[in-house]
Amino acid sequence: MEALKKRIREEAKNQGSGILNVAGFVNHRIDAPLIFECACRFASIFRSANSGPTVVLTAETSGIGPGLLTASLLSVDLLFARKKIPITMTGQIYKTSAPLHTKESEVMLAVSGDQLGTADRVLIIDDFLATGKTIAALVRIVKQAEAELLGIGALIEKSFEGGRKLLRTKVSTNTPIVSLATIERIDPQPGREIVIAN
**0.85 exceeded by the pTM?**
yes
Give alpha helix (H) positions in 12-88.
Answer: 32-46, 64-74
Q: Could you tell me what percentage of the chain is helix, strand and coil, using 3-state DSSP and rounding each to the nearest 5? A: 30, 30, 35
Largest CA distance in the chain: 49
Q: What is the pLDDT along the chain (198 residues), one digit of tens a residue?
A: 999 999 999 999 999 888 999 999 999 999 999 999 999 999 999 998 668 999 999 999 999 999 999 999 999 999 999 999 999 999 999 999 988 766 678 999 999 999 999 999 999 999 999 999 999 999 999 999 999 999 999 999 999 999 999 999 999 999 999 999 999 999 888 877 888 886
What does the pLDDT read at residue 198?
A: 67
Torsions phi, psi for 86 (to 5 deg): -75, 160
- For 8, the 3-state DSSP assignment is helix
Please give the pLDDT value at position 197: 82
Residue 73: phi and psi, rounded to 5, are -65, -30
Residue 59 dihedral angles phi and psi, to the nearest 5°? -110, 140
Q: Tell me how far apart the alpha carbons of residues 86 and 45 are, in angstroms, rounded to a whole number.
A: 34
Distance (Å, whole) CA 13 – CA 185: 13
- 117-154 burial, b if ≥16 CB within 10 A, otherwise e? eeebbbbbbbbbbbbbbbbbbbbbbbebbebebbbbbb
Strand 121-129 versus strand 105-112 pairing type: unpaired
Contact 169, 30 (CB under 8 A): no
Sign of CA dihedral 87, 93, 96, 99: negative
